[in-house]
Amino acid sequence: MYNNPINNIKVGEKQMKCPYCGFSESKVIDSRPTDESNSIRRRRECLKCGRRFTTYEKLEAISLVVIKKDQSRQPYDRDKVLKGIITACEKRPISLTEMEKIADDIESELYQSASREFESTMIGEKVMEKLKKLDEVAYVRFASVYKSFDNIDTFMAELQGLINDR
């Protein structure tokens, strides 16, 4: 399907029509971002009747899906990831800005991936990887919940691995 963004807007297989005469071709007179910068406002002029109208172009959000351990699926929730990071970093010398950067970096990596579905374990691994570089105590806290340490031996094995990595 040919789509000339200067003269025509196509929505799916249909072109945007003039709201006055229904003609399907128009030209862009003016184009600028909205105040929130999340869409572009375009002033258009119908090539048939000459009347002007406004359209808004907005980026379609790509939804990400998380596959849980029980194989159920749910929408990706950045706030849920951030909440886990904040809990792990509680009473640690880590700013909220640093914690938000971890959540942002992970979300960015997910959106840059070719896939739109991600195992929850993969997301947890990414959080642990970033926390390990930032703060070892926060890393161990997150890992103890994420990996479900059920006894002191598994906890100690994780600590020993952390010590060996130094």
Stated pTM of the model: 0.62
- Would the pLDDT of 10 be above 60? no
Question: How remote is the C-alpha of 120 from its chain's centroid?
Answer: 15
pLDDT for 7 = 41
Would you state the structure tokens that stand for residue 26, as one six-digit string? 């128009």
Would you say 53 and 20 are in contact if contact means Cβ atoms under 8 Å apart? Answer: yes
Q: Determine the Cα–Cα distance for residues 148 and 152; give it in Å rounded to an integer.
A: 11
pLDDT tens digits, one per residue of 42-100: 999 999 999 999 998 887 778 999 999 999 999 999 999 999 999 999 999 999 999 99
Would you state the structure tokens that stand for residue 124, as one six-digit string? 């947890």
pLDDT for 159 = 83
